[in-house]
């Protein structure tokens, strides 16, 4: 299999087959919290995609160029979480200074991302799956776009749901989780495209 | 004498009223991901208990010497350290369970319950109330995971904690072990909790 083909498979795998939200249950908090309106969902999705791509790049370098040569693999979690927290801070400062337009669009979502489990999950899965450097970057982009897709679909459904008569006890989180279950059922249809 | 009821409330509020899973909707990732089987749910609950209580002790003891600006970073590093300990312990003593839980043990680092309790409670309270609070939240989290795990395991495999309950004639309902089953079961359980809570409040008013 060619290198390009492998990258395509990693992308489809991360975005659709093993969707971060609907298969790995990562990033559920923003998925439930920020999926009330389409605009907010899009902003959150793009912010996550941006940070995921950066995280994949930086944590790959840290793990394979620093932790492994120094035999410090046990510091993996501490190192990753520190890298993600500082990365989010740096991105926030950089955007505020240099790209104010983008900062206004994404700014409020950025601090929320530090504790988004999808980001740390991405770094952990990247190590588990032994991805090469290009594969890790594609994994980050694919994972982020998959998250964006899932949260956009959810926001679209929830906007319509405003007009539906949901049983009182299920309003809010309950019905959102049940819809997520049905979405996950639909996304199971993607398994099999990449043959294991 | 006045302090004691306070401490007991610190413990019991995590069990029901502020249950992290059903009422506060915190720590959803492990709740959904590892509850395909009851035993996995229990193990995850105990791992979170260890991390939450240990972090609570450390943070409560050092809360006065940590400057406010770096408190979140301090909390996070403390949590990551204890999660590494829990993860290594599971990998060494229970390799099969550790493999089944996969990356969801390290993901305790970003479990919002733990950071949330440090920020909301431990960083403002002395050791003893913090300990009770941490234990209450942990027990609340663990029982929620075990209940969810029992329901899903029963429907998916016809067993509870690996013991066959429904016999061999039971047709496994595989989707309950898969992601859709997790979402739907938790959604319905949260609805059920809301109904019970409403009834309780209505009775309290009468």
Write the ipTM.
0.86
Report yes or no: B190 and B22 within 8 Å, Cβ to Cβ: yes
The reply to whether residue A85 touches residue B76, judged by beta carbons under 8 angstroms, is: yes
- Closest in B102, B106, B194 to A77, CB measured: B106
Residue B3 confidence (pLDDT) above 60: no
Asked if the structure places residue B3 within a domain, the reply is no
Residue A61 confidence (pLDDT) above 90: yes
CA distance A22 to chain B (A): 7
Q: Looking at residue A35, what is its pLDDT?
A: 84
Contact A8/B at CB under 8 A:
no
Residue owning tokens 């990562």: A26
Query: In Å, how far from its chain's centre is CA A44?
Result: 10
Gyration radius of chain B's alpha carbons: 18
Contact B144/A at CB under 8 A:
no
pLDDT tens-digit series, residues B145-169: 999 999 999 999 888 888 888 877 8
Interface A–B counts its CB contacts (< 8 A) at 120
Contact A182/B at CB under 8 A:
yes
Task: Extract the tokens encoding B141.
Answer: 């989290």
Q: Across-strand partners of B159?
A: B164
Residue owning tokens 């909707």: B25
Asked if the structure places residue B157 within a domain, the reply is no
Asked if the structure places residue B182 within a domain, the reply is no
Q: Looking at residue B71, what is its pLDDT?
A: 84
Chain A interface test: which of B178, B191, B195, B197 (most A C-beta within 10 Å): B191
CA distance B148 to B189: 8
Task: Extract the tokens encoding B45.
Answer: 């609950």
Q: Looking at residue B2, what is its pLDDT?
A: 44
pLDDT band, very low/low/confident/very high, at B206 (cuts 50, 70, 90): low
Share of chain A above pLDDT 90, in %: 40
- Domain of B123, in residue numbers: 11-149
pLDDT tens-digit series, residues A70-106: 998 888 888 998 888 888 888 888 888 888 877 887 7
Average pLDDT over residues B95-123: 88
pLDDT tens-digit series, residues A100-156: 877 887 766 777 776 678 888 999 999 999 999 999 999 999 999 999 999 999 999
Average pLDDT over residues B105-131: 88
Query: In Å, how far from its chain's centre is CA A187?
Result: 16
Pick B142 or B11 by higher pLDDT: B142
* CA angle A130–A131–A133, rounded 5-degree value: 135
Asked if the structure places residue B197 within a domain, the reply is no
In chain A, whose CA is at the least distance from the CA of B195?
Answer: A169
Asked if the structure places residue B87 within a domain, the reply is yes
Return all residues near B64 (Cβ < 8 A) that are at least 6 apart.
Answer: none
Domain count, chain B: 1
Asked if the structure places residue B137 within a domain, the reply is yes
Asked if the structure places residue B186 within a domain, the reply is no
* Full DSSP string of A132-159: -HHHHHHHHHHHHHHHHHHHHHHHHHHH
CA distance A186 to A22: 10
Residue A167 confidence (pLDDT) above 70: yes
Does the model's pTM come out above 0.95? no
- Residue numbers in B near A81 (CB within 8 A): 76-77, 80, 109-110
């Amino acid at each position: 299999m060619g290198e390009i083909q492998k990258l395509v498979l990693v992308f489809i795998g991360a975005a659709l087959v093993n969707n971060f939200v609907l298969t790995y249950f990562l990033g559920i908090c923003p998925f439930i919290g920020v999926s009330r309106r389409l605009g907010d969902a899009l902003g959150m999705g793009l912010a996550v995609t941006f940070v995921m791509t950066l995280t994949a790049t930086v944590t790959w370098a840290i793990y394979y160029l620093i932790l492994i040569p120094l035999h410090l693999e046990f510091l993996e979690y501490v190192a990753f979480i520190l890298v993600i927290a500082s990365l989010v801070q740096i991105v926030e400062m950089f955007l505020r200074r240099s790209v104010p337009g983008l900062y206004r669009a994404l700014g409020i979502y950025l601090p929320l991302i530090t504790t988004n489990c999808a980001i740390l999950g991405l770094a952990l899965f990247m190590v588990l799956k032994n991805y090469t450097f290009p594969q890790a970057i594609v994994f980050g982009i694919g994972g982020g776009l998959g998250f964006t897709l899932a949260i956009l679909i959810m926001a679209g459904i929830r906007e319509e749901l405003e007009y539906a008569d949901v049983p009182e006890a299920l309003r809010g989180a309950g019905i959102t989780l049940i819809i997520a279950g049905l979405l996950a059922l639909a996304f199971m249809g993607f398994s099999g495209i990449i043959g294991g | 004498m006045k302090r004691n009821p306070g401490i007991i409330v610190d413990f019991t509020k995590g069990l029901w009223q502020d249950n992290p899973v059903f009422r506060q909707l915190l720590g959803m990732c492990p709740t959904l991901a590892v509850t395909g089987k009851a035993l996995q749910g229990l193990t995850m609950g105990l791992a979170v208990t260890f991390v939450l209580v240990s972090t609570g002790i450390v943070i409560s003891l050092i809360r006065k010497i940590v400057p406010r600006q770096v408190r979140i970073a301090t909390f996070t590093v403390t949590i990551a350290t204890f999660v590494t300990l829990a993860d290594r312990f599971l990998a060494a003593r229970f390799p099969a369970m550790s493999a089944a839980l996969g990356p969801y043990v390290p993901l305790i680092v970003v479990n919002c319950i733990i950071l949330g309790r440090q920020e909301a409670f431990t960083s403002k309270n002395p050791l003893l109330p913090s300990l009770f609070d941490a234990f209450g939240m942990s027990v609340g989290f663990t029982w929620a995971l075990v209940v969810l795990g029992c329901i899903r395991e029963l429907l998916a495999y016809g067993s509870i904690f690996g013991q066959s309950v429904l016999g061999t004639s039971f047709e496994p309902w595989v989707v309950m072990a898969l992601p859709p089953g997790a979402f739907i079961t938790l959604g319905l359980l949260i609805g059920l909790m809301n109904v019970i809570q409403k009834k309780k409040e209505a009775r309290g008013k009468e």
